[in-house]
Amino acid sequence: MSYNTTEGQISISFYPSVAKPRARAAPHTGDPLLFEDTSSAAPPMNNQGYYTPGYNMGGAPVGGPGDAGVNKLFADPMASAAMMYGSSLANQGKDIVNKEINRYVSVNKLKYFFAVDSKYVMKKLLLLMFPYTHQDWEVRYHRDTPLTPRHDVNAPDLYIPTMAFITYILLAGMALGIQKRFSPEVLGLCASTALVWVVIEVLVMLLCLYLLSVHSDLSIFDLFAYSGYKYVGMIFTVLGGLLFGSDGYFLALTWSSCALMFFIVRSLKMKILSSLSNDSMGAGATAKPRLRLYITVATAAFQPIIIYWLTSHLVR
Amino acid sequence: MAFTLYSLIQAVILCVNAVAVLHEERFLSKIGWGVDQSIGGFGDEPGIKVQLMNLVRSVRTVMRVPLIAVNSVCIVLLLLFG
């Protein structure tokens, strides 16, 4: 695949890590493959267990070529034996760490959220800022697994929220520096405040979804993704405020609030409100769609409030 | 309102403590939130109150022992560092 260098240059200012890995060619067969090469558009049919961690497959070949090279270097058998022992210990340590991490955070599920490419990022950013013309909001599936964000623009991802969060922190530092109010502690405070509000929102959403017995397929990572999309709105608002003063700030705030509310309502409607297909019996069913609608609307209404709260002190 | 992660942890610990001190027979049964009153209809929609009661009961069961450890650590840290 070839990527436009101009596209790479535009995206480098805010999303620097998108540009660099794209230039990487496929590794030739001699090198140990530590990570599965997910940069090429491999069709999802190939991988059963989808993003099988390439670590374990790559761990074995490391012993091979390294072994042969080392034996040539060290004529002393003790040193070479010590090297082999050391490398096997390191492999075991790596396996143990992977196993422990996999117990708490499902790495496969997390990899799904970071499987993006620049085309998806561009389309998603456009969608976040102007969602009114988008027709089809369904997340497409392929044999029971949702398609990765690379193949489906409606799929949530964690790349954009992470990068937008970091960009927001940098922008906050810059805004405070322009007003001569900068200090490193304030930057850390800003970062942790934004993070804490997202965590609170995710916890409240989880609680509401549990209390209303909504059996949707929204996992924690999905909720983090949908909550993290507000950072893009925050960046746009702060930029508007910095470039055009107070009027620009309120204009950008209104625009990004409306766009984000529309986006959240349309996206969550598919997941929350459509999961009542099997319990449409009995009189209790009529109360439930209303409460679910309330949740969706409340989530959407919360976004402008928090955007205003987190950005107003940056643009006086 | 400037939050740090530490204040979030403090808030969570306080809330979980508050849920853990709700006594089953002295308080929850008196206000109709006891264990025996949660087995309502066997339909597939438990309702908000039943879910809440289940949540309170499971939090109390699960977090009883870890809360002892977490609270002790918190008390020691607060005594040492204010």
Q: pLDDT tens track of chain B, all 82 residues?
A: 677 888 888 899 999 999 998 888 888 777 877 777 766 666 666 778 888 888 888 999 998 899 999 999 999 999 998 7
For the ranges A59-63, A69-73, A307-311, B48-52, the one whose mean pLDDT is highest:
A307-311
The two tokens of residue A38 are 């997910």
Of residues A211, A285, A309, nearest to B48 (C-beta):
A211
CA distance B50 to A213: 11
- DSSP reduced 3-state for A35: coil
**Closest-approach residue (CA) in chain A for B4:** A192
Residue B1 lies in a domain: no
Residue B34: per-residue pLDDT: 74
Q: Is the pLDDT of residue A21 over 60?
A: no
User: What is chain B's Cα-based Rg?
Assistant: 16
Closest CA to A295 of A197, A194, A206, A200: A206
Residue A6: per-residue pLDDT: 47
Binding-face residues of A in 138-167 toward B, CB within 8 A: none
CA distance B26 to B23: 6
Interface contact B7-A211, CB threshold 8 A: no
Question: Which helix (H) or strand (E) is A142 found in, with range?
Answer: strand A141-142
- Mean pLDDT, chain B, whole residue set: 84
Interface contact B4-A196, CB threshold 8 A: yes
Spell out which residues of chain A touch residue B55, defining contact as CB-CB under 8 Å: 210-211
Interface contact A213-B43, CB threshold 8 A: no
Interface contact A285-B2, CB threshold 8 A: no
- Mean pLDDT, chain A, whole residue set: 77
A115-119 mean pLDDT: 88
- pLDDT category, A251, cuts 50, 70, 90? very high
- DSSP reduced 3-state for A217: coil
More confident residue, A96 or B2: A96
Residue B26 lies in a domain: no
- pLDDT category, A68, cuts 50, 70, 90? low
Residue to test with chain A: of B44, B53, B55, most A Cβ within 10 A? B44
DSSP A22: G
Interface contact B1-A189, CB threshold 8 A: no
Spell out which residues of chain A touch residue B4, defining contact as CB-CB under 8 Å: 189, 192-193, 196
Residue to test with chain A: of B1, B8, B15, B52, most A Cβ within 10 A? B8
Q: Is the pLDDT of residue A62 over 50?
A: no
Residue B24 lies in a domain: no
Residue at A178: amino acid letter: I
A89-113 mean pLDDT: 83
Binding-face residues of B in 32-71 toward A, CB within 8 A: 43-48, 51-52, 55
Residue B65 lies in a domain: yes
CA distance A171 to A165: 10
The answer to ipTM > 0.95 is: no
Distances (CA, A) of A266 to A123, A147, A156, A162, A182: 16, 19, 13, 22, 39
Residue A74: per-residue pLDDT: 60
A5-16 mean pLDDT: 45
Judged by average pLDDT, the poorest of A44-58, A95-109, A198-212, A251-265 is: A44-58
Spell out which residues of chain B touch residue A284, defining contact as CB-CB under 8 Å: 43, 45, 47
Residue A142 has φ and ψ, to the nearest 5°, of -140, 105
CA distance A288 to A215: 12
Residue A52: per-residue pLDDT: 44
A189 touches chain B (CB under 8 A): yes
Q: Residue B72 sits in which domain range?
A: 48-81
Q: Is the pLDDT of residue A40 over 60?
A: no
Judged by average pLDDT, the poorest of A71-80, A154-163, A191-200 is: A71-80
Residue B14 lies in a domain: no
- DSSP reduced 3-state for A260: helix
Residue B72: per-residue pLDDT: 94
Interface contact B45-A195, CB threshold 8 A: no
Where do we find the tokens 């990765």? Answer: A148
Phi-psi sector, A94: left (phi>0), alpha (psi -120 to 50), beta: alpha
pTM: 0.70
A48-76 mean pLDDT: 50
The two tokens of residue A60 are 């074995």
Residue A69: per-residue pLDDT: 52
Phi-psi sector, A306: left (phi>0), alpha (psi -120 to 50), beta: alpha
CA distance A164 to A293: 28
- b/e map A127-146, b = 16+ CB within 10 Å: bbeebeeeeebebeeeeeeb
Spell out which residues of chain B touch residue A195, defining contact as CB-CB under 8 Å: 5
A46-63 mean pLDDT: 45
Residue B73 lies in a domain: yes
**DSSP H helix total and E strand total for chain B:** 2, 0
Spell out which residues of chain B touch residue A211, defining contact as CB-CB under 8 Å: 48, 51-52, 55
Closest CA to A157 of A199, A193, A109, A191: A109
Of residues A211, A285, A309, nearest to B51 (C-beta):
A211
Alpha carbon of B60: minimum distance to chain A alpha carbons (Å)? 16
B76 touches chain A (CB under 8 A): no
Residue B42 lies in a domain: no
Residue A73: per-residue pLDDT: 60
Alpha carbon of B14: minimum distance to chain A alpha carbons (Å)? 15
Residue A196: per-residue pLDDT: 92
Phi-psi sector, A245: left (phi>0), alpha (psi -120 to 50), beta: left
Residue A275: per-residue pLDDT: 61
| Number of structural domains in chain B | 1
Interface contact B3-A196, CB threshold 8 A: yes
- pLDDT category, A61, cuts 50, 70, 90? very low
Q: What angle do CA A17, A224, B50 make, to 5 degrees?
A: 170
Interface contact B51-A196, CB threshold 8 A: no
Residue B20 lies in a domain: no
Parallel, antiparallel or unpaired: strands A145-146 and A141-142 = antiparallel
Cβ atoms of residues A20 and A41 within 8 Å = no
Q: Is the pLDDT of residue A5 over 60?
A: no
Judged by average pLDDT, the poorest of A45-49, A91-95, A239-243, A247-251 is: A45-49
For the ranges A49-53, A66-70, A99-103, A240-244, the one whose mean pLDDT is highest:
A240-244
